[in-house]
Each structure stands twice: as C-alpha cells, then as structure tokens.
Amino acid sequence: MLMRYVIKRLLYMVPTLLLISLVSFAIVQLPPGDFLDSYIATLEAGGGDISAREVELLRQRYALDGNVVTQYFVWIGNVLQGDFGWSFQYQRPVSDVLWGRVGLTFLISLASMIFVYMVAFPIGIYSAVRKYSLGDYTFTFLGFLGLAIPNFLLALVLMYVSLTVFGQSVGGLFSPEFQDAPWSWAKLVDLLAHLWIPVIIIGTASTAGLIRVMRANLLDELNKPYVETARAKGLSEGRLLLRYPVRLALNPFVSQVGWELPALISGAAITSIVLNLPTTGPVLLTALKSQDMYLAGSFILILSVLTVIGTLISDLLLAWLDPRISYE
C-alpha cells in the first residue's frame, strides 16, 4: 500500500514539475526587455556606448534572438541533460554560480531549522500545559514580538547595537582575515563564532509562529475524551502527554517539512543582503533584477523540485505519525 502510494505521487510529480518550469520561465520573462537590454542600459548609464552590430552579436552569443517558447525548450532540454545553461551576469555556468553558495546556505538554514524546532517544541508544550500562567503569558508576548518584527529589521537593530555597544561588526560569516583563506580549523571556528547571529535572526519568526501553533493544537488535544480516559486508567501525566496528545499535535511540525526543504537552499534573501551573507538568496534576487533568465529559471526550478519532494516527505511522515490518515 505504501509503495503504491509513493509511486503514484512520483508519477504526479512529472507533469507538475513541467508545468512549474514553464510558469517559472514565463515569470522570469514577464518584465519588458531581456538581460541584454538591462546590460545596455547599465552601460549607457555609466557613460559607455555600444554599436548595433555589437548588440546583434551579443544577442546571438546569448541565444536571445529567439522567442520565449524557443528559449524555454532550449533551456529545459539542456536541464534534462544536466546542463543548467550559462549565467549572463556572472559569465560562468549556472551550476558553478549556484553550487558555490549552496553549502553555506544549507549550513545556515539547517542550523536555523534545528534552532527553531528545539526552541518551539518544548516552549509550545509548556505553554499548553501551563496555560494562563506567568510563563505562558511571557512566551506569548515574546512570540507576538517575534512575529511582528521582520527579520531584516531585527538584523539591522542587532548590527547597530553590536557596533555601537560592543564595537564589533556582525556582518558576514567570516572575519576579514578568513574571508578568502583556505579552509582550516581556525576558519571553521571563526565560522561557528559568526553563525549564531544569522541563525537566531532567521529563526525568530518561525520559532514564534510554531510556538503558537503547537500551543493551540495541544490545547485542543488535551480537551478530548481519550485524554481523560487514559488518565482514568492510571497512565502517568508525562507518559500520557508524550504518547497521545503531543504526538497528534505534531502534525503542523511535520507538515512544515514541505516548505523547510526548499528553504534550506533558498535562504532568507533580504536578511542575507542585510547581513552580507554569501548565500544563494541574493543571487536569485540579482538574477531576477537583471533578467539573467537561465540562472533565475534554474534556481526557481530547483526550489520547485525541492518543494514537491518535501511535500511528499511530509505526507509520508504525517501518514506514519497519525493513524487517522489513510494512503487512499
């Protein structure tokens, strides 16, 4: 039954991904003009000049002389062969531009996700079990603050306080002396010393949201008859809590996997720009602004694939966690 369900979902993924790739590429092409138009405008703004012959040669070089449909089929055909195309802006293959930043992006996002779950899970349980207590009100207040304050604003405040009070800049992931240095134990220690800042900033809003979700779902489960029945049978409070209501209240946590998987690669673009983090988020933003279509389209396609895979994983985990869910 499980294998049949997985195969069916995998087959559904094929047309879904093709449709997503088509829509993604069309969205990248929606603004008027193309990368070459943006390049010429930037060149002229800087006082430069370019002839019509050079423009035509550049259009042929970058394969911009065809229509959108032709460009899409050329791109998707190459992608299916493992070639994501050429980045006009970086003058490098798209794969080199993306994979060069994926490692640090994955590290930051994974650490942020671990931080979110480790903090939100116990606090959400505590707030539900000790509802209307001083601790519950305190965490509720902090949760609302976390949801209300944008991550980039929190980053700006932290950078200002760190610079004015402690005289230390918190931007970037490395100290200046380790920025371009080869990997070593000292560089790894320096990375870990800087890592906690973006982890806390990026994880704040998600932590606050999951605390509220966990509290609300657990409160709902604690009021159901099966809890009273288990308690009447003499089951200890701690064992009862973890065995039944907490397990069912975990559904929102598990369903988040479908969105957390692409987040591991995309990173928080605006926060990364504010903190000067070498992640993939700013690369996507720059590619969209300059209409670097192969880079932007490939990036969006990768995120779409990860979203579909993450949704499949979360569905399987939910079916395993909650016996009320059927594969049919």
Q: Where are the alpha helices (DSSP H) in 149-184?
A: 151-165
Mean of the pLDDT values across residues 94-123? 82
In the chain, how many domains are there? 1
Mean of the pLDDT values across residues 221-250? 78
- Residue 220's SS3 state is helix
The CATH number given to whatever domain includes residue 284 is 1.10.3720.10
The more confident residue out of 1 and 118 is 118
Q: From CA 17, how far away is CA 24, in angstroms rounded?
A: 10
The secondary structure of 132-155 as a DSSP string is TSHHHHHHHHHHHHHHHS-HHHHH
Q: Does an H or E element contain 87, and which?
A: strand 86-87
CB atoms within 10 A of CB 315: 19
Range of the domain at 274: 1-328
Least confident window among 38-47, 189-198, 236-245, 298-307: 38-47
What are the pLDDT digits (tens) for 176-226? 777 777 878 888 888 887 788 888 888 887 788 888 888 888 888 888 888
- Report residue 56 as tokens: 């035509």
> In sequence order, which residues have a C-beta less than 8 Å from that of residue 184 and are 6 or more positions away?
none
Residue type, 12: Y
Q: Where are the alpha helices (DSSP H) in 46-150?
A: 52-61, 68-80, 94-129, 134-148
CB atoms within 10 A of CB 244: 18
